[in-house]
Structure 1
Amino acid sequence: MPTRELQTQLELLRSQLREDAPLTEEERAALLAITRDIESRLERQGAGEPDDSLVDGVNLAVERFEVSHPSTAMTLRSIMQTLASMGI
């Protein structure tokens, strides 16, 4: 169930990338990289080990987008919570 929830959140993030307030190329690239990292982690989900670099990356993105793109930051926070509940 958490995997499905995470997929939904990732789709919301992709939608925000397409439709939200303008992002710089650097911001867009950072969010796309996070999305790819999470998807890669889901593909090898059997590992079940915490991935501090992934969590740190999402956390940094939350801090980065908090003021300029609050809805994106909120989506990223939800993704962090889901990752934590999955033990990632």
Structure 2
Amino acid sequence: MPARDLQEQLDALREQLDRNPPLSETERVHLHELMQQIETKIQLEQATHEQDSSLVDGVNLAVERFELEHPGIAATLRNIVQTLGNIGI
């Protein structure tokens, strides 16, 4: 279940990005790379149940980066951090 919730949150983040918020190309690339890392981690977690705190650290850094100018994106990223914690990542 939590992996499905995480996937739904990633989908919500994708939808937010599809609305073309005023992000720099660097910010957009960073978010896409982070989303790819999360999706890869979901697949690995389902296969091996390994833990990796660096992914959570990366998402937390993204929350801080987008918090002021893009609160909707930051809120979705916070939900992702919460879900990652719930599934033990």
Q: TM-score, normalised by structure 1?
A: 0.94
Match of 2:84 in 1: 83
Q: Give per-residue Cα distances to partners, 1:29-58, cap 9 Å, x unaligned.
A: 110011000100111113222211101100
Q: Residue type matched to 1:4 in 2?
A: R
Task: Give, in angstroms, the shift of residue 2 of structure 1.
Answer: 0.5
Q: Residue type matched to 1:44 in 2?
A: L
SS across alignment from 1:44: helix
Unaligned runs of 5+ in 1: none
Match of 1:54 in 2: 55
Unaligned runs of 5+ in 2: none
- Confirm or deny that 1:25 pairs with 2:21: no
Would you say the 8 A contact 2:5–2:83 is kept in 1?
Answer: yes
The separation in 2 between residues aligned to 1:59 and 1:20, in whole angstroms, is 22
Task: Give, in angstroms, the shift of residue 3 of structure 1.
Answer: 1.0
Q: TM-score, normalised by structure 2?
A: 0.93
Match of 1:10 in 2: 10
The separation in 1 between residues aligned to 2:51 and 2:4, in whole angstroms, is 19
CA RMSD of aligned residues (A): 1.0
Please say which of residues 48-57 and 9-18 is displaced more in the overlay. 48-57
What is the number of equivalent residue pairs in this alignment? Answer: 88
The separation in 2 between residues aligned to 1:71 and 1:5, in whole angstroms, is 17
The separation in 1 between residues aligned to 2:38 and 2:21, in whole angstroms, is 23
